[in-house]
Structure 1
Amino acid sequence: MASVRHFQVTFDCEEPERVALFWCAVLGYAVPPPPPGFEAWADFDRTLPPESQGSMFACEDPAGLGPRLFFQRVPENKVVKNRVHLDVRVGGGLVGDERLQTLEAECARLVALGAVRVRLLPADGINESCIVMQDVEGNEFCLD
């Protein structure tokens, strides 16, 4: 039986480059180099048919450990809660006030980038606290 070693997470969105650059800032990801023969992605994008220009963007973990994120333009707006979301792990191993302070500091940084804080899910004796947030297009994610 074959095992999957690499995968990509794909976001449907309205403005692929804007959402990708947000996630680059959140995760420390980088935009991959443009295809050979192009100085910048904008140069490559101009070679596409007009209806395809600006329709996709990607970012990658510079260390090569995390999945590639791909962003594709879709015609419809987001209308319901995500069925899959990212957990941004910033509080690993921390509990109580130390964990909350770490989550709140990262939440403030992400709000400055355009994220929206939705709610705090307090520790409940089984799970530690986390903060539910939305990215620049309303996709839910958790600070965990």
Structure 2
Amino acid sequence: MTREIQVTFDCADPAALAAFWAEVLGYHLQPPPGDFESWDAALEAFGVPREEWNSRSAILPTDGGGPRVFFQRVPEGKTAKNRVHLDVRAAPGLQGDERMAALETECTRLEALGATRAYRIEPAPPLETGFITMHDPEGNEFCLD
């Protein structure tokens, strides 16, 4: 049986990190439940204390073709390298200089959103096609692949 998955990020600022990853992945913020016009209105109606309003957030694929991504506030900061990371497929089907140029373009776009570049690995056929490793605004590693 195939199972649906959700990717979860522990973080300090769920709203900000959700907004960042929505831009990276072409996702959108999960809308509020029912007839509520905003999450603030829903949380207020549910009696959630204001200090908990940014304790979680989620984004959904715009086309329905991917996992839900959930962001939950945790008290501790990131202390070590991720054991699991996302590979953002920014240059599928491209090779060599064309591939690396597409990855550089996406890297520049994501830096403007708050990501930072860690390092670049050059193509070395037949096994290495080249990629750029980056950090999101809270330091989580991901690759442009």
Question: How would you bin the TM-score normalised by the shorter chain?
Answer: over 0.9
Gapped runs of 5+ residues in structure 2?
none
Q: Deviations over 1:42-83 (max 9, x none)?
A: 222333134532100000001110110000000000000111
Which residue matches 2:132?
A: 131
Kindly, what percent of the aligned residue pairs are identical? 51
| Partner residue in 2 for 1:16 | 14
- 74-83 or 26-35, larger mean C-alpha shift: 26-35
Task: Within 5 Å, give how 1:1-144 maps onto structure 2.
Answer: 2-4=1-3, 6-46=4-44, 47-125=47-125, 126-144=127-145
2: CA distance between counterparts of 1:51 and 1:24?
23
C-alpha distance in 1 between matches for 2:118 and 2:86: 15
- The two structures, once aligned, show a CA RMSD in angstroms of 1.2
Letter in 2 for 1:3: T
Once residues 138 and 59 of structure 1 are traced to their aligned partners in structure 2, the CA distance between those partners, rounded to angstroms, is 19
Count of equivalent residues: 142
Q: Which amino acid aligns with 1:130?
A: F
Cα deviation, residue 122, structure 1: 1.3
- Aligned residue for 1:131, secondary structure, equals strand
Gaps in structure 1 of 5+ consecutive residues: none
CA distance in 2, matches of 1:91, 1:51: 41
Q: Deviation at 1:138?
A: 0.6
Matched residue of 1:30: which SS? Answer: strand
Question: Which residue identity is paired with 2:42?
Answer: F
Q: Measure, in 2, the Cα distance between the counterparts of 1:42 and 1:123.
A: 47
TM-score normalised by length of structure 2 = 0.93
Contact 1:90 1:102 in 2 (8 A): yes
The answer to whether the Cα contact below 8 Å between 2:40 and 2:53 also exists between their aligned partners in 1 is no
Runs of 4+ in 1 over 3 A off after TM superposition: none
TM-score of the aligned structures, taking structure 1 as reference length: 0.93
Query: Does the 8 A contact of 2:120 with 2:133 survive in 1?
Result: yes
3-state SS in 2 of match to 1:108: helix
Is the Cα–Cα contact under 8 Å of residues 45 and 54 in structure 1 kept in the other structure?
no
Conservation of the 8 A alpha-carbon contact between 1:8 and 1:67: yes
Q: Contact conserved, 2:134 with 2:144, CA < 8 A, in 1?
A: yes
Query: Quick one: distance in 1 between partners of 2:29 and 2:140?
Result: 20
